């Protein structure tokens, strides 16, 4: 193992111990119970040895002493079991509470890192770090504390007892036993790399499965089952291969140590027998020595047996800590202000932005929006429409330039305050696993039922909700699977109507709604947009035509702007799209929509 790898492992262990430190009382309790357990566990062989010495001579058995010793052995074994149970209870508490704290911090980190990080990593991999890798840390703690500490106490106490009984036989055990540790250390170096690869591949397969389960309809609609199966099998095969190698290498440790332990037992028998013949040790003491030799070597076996879990825990901890080490989004400045309301004037001044530095997306972008104006943003896919929305809401920060609301830079406004000024309805509806009422009131949790009903009525979904068995208390399943796409979209529209924000962003907001319902929604939007600054991204053409200003974007720049009639009269890019029957947003707009 390289020095860098050793340093990394030491650093990882220190960080794990940092999470364990709040639970010192349980840890100390586990140590105390471990000492008691070991002490009683080592007392029992001595009592058994005394009992053997009382019955070893023919016709000279001390039944009274044997009965008394048997009772003492029984009490000792029972007390030993109690202390072992108490030790396990304390260890489990430390393990579970530590994993709980790690998961809480991971979830807190998800809410703190920039969206760039979430968007740039497979979601299944992030979930795997929170679930599988955190569990691996907990299992490693459980086994590590139990086996390593109790094993260390067992080794030291057993060694002391053996030295008191017979120094020479004790030295034989001490000299031979460390051979098992050398074998274990060698095998550990072989398997550690494989465990790290296994943990990484587990995250990859979790990500792939999460993606395909969530999009099964699309997979089946396009007949992609066989291809996705092949891809899954390729990842699964890699996981199987590294899993087999890691388990094979690590499984060599236990047989190797047991082989050494067999040599120790044989040596004790030979040396003990010679000592018994010479009269320096009794038969009962040989029995005690054999038991102690087994107990002395047992912790070495147990430690090597949990090596796979310990290595898996270190690999999982590395992935967890790499997530926790991600820099959070830049916090709001001390001079940032709260802005609970605004007129809706927006000024975009010379902004430049790119998701990746070499590839420019938006360059030298300028826009002035008057309060209450309705701005439609159209253009081919990838021209920067949705990116502009992300910048307005500060999901991403511009590389240069500035965006102002009512003359105040959005970078001088607290993020939560800034985002409360916007109401968003996106093409992809998002619903949580809660009641319909809770979903509508997501942006305003303290809203009364009457307010929720009023918003649902404005969104023309109140009749549908009231027909449900539990009305507004009907539970929406994960991602709204028990609702149609149009119904999910209407709920999202009702959510925005309830909040009644001063600025609206409608990104294909009625794309999943039938024409009849859309006409009603458009009327509701007209009422809602009165006096509010609104951005309509690539809506159906009827909405685009009614906008005060249409921005035609291409390659991150506004190439045309004006009203619908003005743009048609110019005979430019917009006019060509319009008359060619192409969709303004995607390049395939059917003529029948206008």
- Tell me the per-residue pLDDT of 398-439, one tens digit each, with 9 for 90 and over: 889 999 999 999 999 998 888 888 888 877 778 888 888 998
Helices and strands in the chain, H and E counts: 24, 10
Residue ranges of the chain assigned to CATH 3.40.50.300:
375-391+420-548+564-593
**pLDDT at position 513, please?**
64
**pLDDT at position 590, please?**
35
Q: How far apart are CA 294 and CA 390, in angstroms?
A: 66
**pLDDT at position 585, please?**
44
| Sign of the C-alpha dihedral computed for residues 426, 429, 434 and 440 taken in this order | positive
**pLDDT at position 525, please?**
72
Range 339-349 average pLDDT: 88
More reliable by pLDDT, 99 or 245: 99
- Per-range mean pLDDT, top range of 61-65, 82-86, 204-208, 426-430: 82-86
> Taking the CB of residue 484, how many other CB atoms lie within 10 A of it?
13
Tokens, residue 586 = 């995607």
**pLDDT at position 218, please?**
74
What is the band of 367 on the pLDDT scale with cuts at 50, 70, 90? confident
Domain 375-391+420-548+564-593 sits in CATH at: 3.40.50.300
Q: How far apart are CA 17 and CA 108, in angstroms?
A: 20
Q: Which DSSP string do the residues of 95-158 spell out, in sequence order?
A: HHHHHHHHHHHHHHHHTTS-HHHHHTS-HHHHHHIIIIIHHHHHHHHHHIIIIIIHHHHHHHHH
Task: With H, G, I as helix, E, B as strand and everything else as coil, classify residue 536.
Answer: strand
**pLDDT at position 589, please?**
36
**pLDDT at position 404, please?**
92
What is the band of 479 on the pLDDT scale with cuts at 50, 70, 90? low
Residues 481-537 have pLDDT tens digits of 778 777 888 888 888 888 888 898 887 766 656 677 667 667 767 777 778 888 888
What contacts 46, CB < 8 A, 6 or more positions away?
A: 161, 288
Domain 16-21+101-324 sits in CATH at: 1.20.1560.10
Residue in 147, 409, 394, 354 with CA at minimum distance from that of residue 253: 147
DSSP-derived letter for residue 460 is T
Q: What burial class does residue 390 get, using C-beta atoms within 10 Å of its C-beta: 0-12 exposed, 13-18 middle, 19+ buried? A: middle
Q: Is the pTM of this model over 0.85?
A: no
Residue ranges of the chain assigned to CATH 1.20.1560.10:
16-21+101-324
Q: How far apart are CA 154 and CA 411, in angstroms?
A: 61
Residues 537-559 have pLDDT tens digits of 865 555 677 788 888 887 767 78
Rounded alpha-carbon distances, angstroms, from residue 572 to 302, 365, 569: 78, 20, 8
Q: How far apart are CA 239 and CA 197, in angstroms?
A: 8
More reliable by pLDDT, 405 or 189: 405
Mean pLDDT of the chain: 80
Residues 230-287 have pLDDT tens digits of 888 888 888 888 888 877 777 776 677 777 777 777 777 777 777 777 777 777 777 7
Range 201-220 average pLDDT: 77
Q: How far apart are CA 351 and CA 411, in angstroms?
A: 13
Share of the chain above pLDDT 90, in %: 8
What contacts 154, CB < 8 A, 6 or more positions away?
A: 38, 41, 42, 295, 296, 298, 299
């Amino acid at each position: 193992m390289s020095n860098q790898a050793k340093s990394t492992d030491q650093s990882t262990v220190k960080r794990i111990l940092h999470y364990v430190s709040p639970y010192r009382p349980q840890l100390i309790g586990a140590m105390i119970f471990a000492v008691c357990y070991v002490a009683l566990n080592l007392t029992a062989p001595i009592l058994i040895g005394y009992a053997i010495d009382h019955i070893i001579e023919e016709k000279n058995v001390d039944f009274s002493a044997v009965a008394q010793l048997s009772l003492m052995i029984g009490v000792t074994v029972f007390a030993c079991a109690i202390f072992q149970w108490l030790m396990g209870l304390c260890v489990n508490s430390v393990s579970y509470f530590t994993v709980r704290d790690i998961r809480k911090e991971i979830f807190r980190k998800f809410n703190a890192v920039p969206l760039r990080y979430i968007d740039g990593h497979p979601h299944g991999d992030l979930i795997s770090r929170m679930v599988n890798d955190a569990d691996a840390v907990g299992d490693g703690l459980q086994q590590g504390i139990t086996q390593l500490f109790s094993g260390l106490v067992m080794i030291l106490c057993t060694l002391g007892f053996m030295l008191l009984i017979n120094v020479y036989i004790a030295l034989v055990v001490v000299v031979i036993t460390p051979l098992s540790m050398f074998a274990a250390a060698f095998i550990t170096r072989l398997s550690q790399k494989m465990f790290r690869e296994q943990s990484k591949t587990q995250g990859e397969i979790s990500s792939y499965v999460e993606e395909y389960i969530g999009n099964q309809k699309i997979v089946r609609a396009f007949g992609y089952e066989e291809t996705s199966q092949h891809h899954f099998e390729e990842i699964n095969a890699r996981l199987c291969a590294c899993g087999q190698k890691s388990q094979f290498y690590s499984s060599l440790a236990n047989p190797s140590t047991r082989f050494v332990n067999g040599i120790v037992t044989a040596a004790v028998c030979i040396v003990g027998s010679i000592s018994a013949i010479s009269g320096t040790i009794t038969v009962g003491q040989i029995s005690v020595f054999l038991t102690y030799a087994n107990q002395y070597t047992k912790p070495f076996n147990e430690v090597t047996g949990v090596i796979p879990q310990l290595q898996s825990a270190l690999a999982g901890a590395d992935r967890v800590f790499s997530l926790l080490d991600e820099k959070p989004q830049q916090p709001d400045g001390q001079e940032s202000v709260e802005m609970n309301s605004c007129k809706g004037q927006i000024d975009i001044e010379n902004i430049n932005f790119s998701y990746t530095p070499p590839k420019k997306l938006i360059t030298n972008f300028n826009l002035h929006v008057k309060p209450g104006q309705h701005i439609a943003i159209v253009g081919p896919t990838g021209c920067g429409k949705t990116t502009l929305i992300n910048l307005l809401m500060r999901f991403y920060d511009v590389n240069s330039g500035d965006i102002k609301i009512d003359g105040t830079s959005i970078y001088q406004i607290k993020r939560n305050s800034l985002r409360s000024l916007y109401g968003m309805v996106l093409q992809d509806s998002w619903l949580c696993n809660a009641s319909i009422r809770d979903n509508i009131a997501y942006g305003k949790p303290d809203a009364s039922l009457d307010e929720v009903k009023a918003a649902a009525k404005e969104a023309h979904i109140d009749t549908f909700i009231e027909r449900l068995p539990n009305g507004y208390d009907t539970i929406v399943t994960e991602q709204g699977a028990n609702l149609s796409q149009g119904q999910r979209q209407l709920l999202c529209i009702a959510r925005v109507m309830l909040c009644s924000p001063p600025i609206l962003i409608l990104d294909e907001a009625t794309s999943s709604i039938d024409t009849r319902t859309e006409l009603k929604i458009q009327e509701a939007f007209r009422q809602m947009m009165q006096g509010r600054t609104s951005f309509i991204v690539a809506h159906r053409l009827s909405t685009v035509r009614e906008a005060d200003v249409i921005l035609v974007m291409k390659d991150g720049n506004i190439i045309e702007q004006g009203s619908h009639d003005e743009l048609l009269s110019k005979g430019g890019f917009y006019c060509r799209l319009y008359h060619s029957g192409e969709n303004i947003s995607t390049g395939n707009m059917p003529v029948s929509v206008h």
